[in-house]
Amino acid sequence: MRVAIGLTQDLTACHALRRTVFIEEQGVSEAEEMDDLDGEATHLLATVSEVPAGSARLFVQGGTGKIGRVCVLREHRGTGLGAALIIAAVDQFRATPGVEKVKLGAQCHAIAFYEKLGFAAFGPEYDDAGIPHRDMMLAL
């Protein structure tokens, strides 16, 4: 089984993964999930044996890298693929001049996952698409 994670222009694969995880599994509305920001973002795609298995969307806003729309198919959760995807995103921001920190909005059930990768939660809990979230930050 060969795992690869890299930048992609394949939005069709990213959208299919996000549809499965966010819309079908988590009940997020299509209108909330499929916004108009994909064209402005950089996308990471994780594949297992060349089959799409996870993705993330990256933005730079000032000195902050923002990771969003992180998803991993159910059958690949708990394998380390999600952690590898986040590490690849952080590495991408480390290589971007001027980026000093990385921010993400974590679903509350995933806070411990991100804490193991060095992120710290801050601010109050908030609702995003009906799912409790907290903001998290990692200084580079």
Reading the chain (140 residues) residue by residue, the pLDDT tens digits are: 799 999 999 999 999 999 999 999 999 999 889 888 999 999 999 999 999 999 999 999 999 999 999 999 999 999 999 999 999 999 999 999 999 999 999 999 999 999 999 999 999 999 999 999 999 999 99
Torsion angles phi and psi, residue 77, rounded to 5: -70, 145
Distance in angstroms (rounded) separating the CA atoms of residues 64 and 87: 16
* 41, two tokens: 């973002």
Range of the domain at 92: 3-139
Distance in angstroms (rounded) separating the CA atoms of residues 44 and 5: 7
DSSP state of 39: G
Collapsed DSSP state (helix, strand, coil) of residue 35? coil
Distances (CA, A) of 34 to 47, 48, 65, 82, 102: 21, 24, 21, 21, 23
- Which pLDDT score is estimated for 1? 76
- Which pLDDT score is estimated for 36? 87
Amino acid identity, position 19: R
Collapsed DSSP state (helix, strand, coil) of residue 12? helix
Distances (CA, A) of 106 to 13, 17, 87, 127, 132: 22, 18, 15, 11, 8
- Which pLDDT score is estimated for 42? 96
Which CATH number does the domain housing residue 45 bear? 3.40.630.30
When divided into structural domains, the chain yields a total of: 1
